[in-house]
Amino acid sequence: MKRLLPLLLALPLYAAAPAQTPAKPAPAPAKASLLDLSKAYVQNATVSVETFAAYSVDRGPFENVLRGNFEHGKFGTGLALNIDLGTHVFAQIDSIINAVDDVNGSTVDNSSVSLGLQFNTPLKVAPFALVGIGHRWDGDYWNTHAEAGLRLNLSKRVYASASYRHTFEEAADYGQVRAGLGYKF
């Protein structure tokens, strides 16, 4: 009886106590807008600038190079800007002076500019593909093109690549070998 009495006295206190409700779940996080996602992406985007030397061979003479005749190639130099768009996809803008050994007072006539999307792999020897649009001032025309090649990443900054670019509107296909330096920001 002595043990039952405290329990009986505590019963009215227990009945008078407010019932505890289970804790409310935390509200769901607000959905991120496309603008918020793009701001976060821009803050984390990687931008790189590459300077390079190039040896280009036009389509007709390219066949001669395969036969061992290197007389028809052009030495050039250029600058490329790459913006990382995600998993191994880059937006690329490059400008090249196609023939620095054949400059006759105007480098504009020997130059081209290209804008494209580059798809590559993070390997030391990395295949890549590029699709885009470009303009060559020596023919004063715009073109669409596709390029495929192999890039050798010698270090974080030094690279070499070999590629073949096919243009769809004009017969201006060419093969190119590049060696360059890249700077990431």
Q: Is residue 162 part of a domain?
A: yes
- Alpha-carbon gap, residue 176 to 168, rounded angstroms: 17
Q: What angle do CA 140, 144, 147 make, to 5 degrees?
A: 115
Please check whether residue 174 lies inside any domain of the structure: yes
- Is residue 157 assigned to a domain? yes
Which pLDDT belongs to residue 31? 61
- Give domain status of residue 27, yes or no: no
Residue 55 lies inside a defined structural domain of this protein: yes
Please give the Cα distance from 125 to 184 (Å, whole number): 19
In a domain, 22, yes or no: no
Q: How many domains does the chain have?
A: 1
Supply the CATH number for residue 132's domain: 2.40.160.20
Whether 38 is covered by a domain: the verdict is no
Q: What is the pLDDT of residue 3?
A: 62
Q: Which residues of the chain have pLDDT under 50?
A: none
For residue 29, tell me if it sits in a domain.
no
Q: Indicate the pTM of the whole model.
A: 0.66
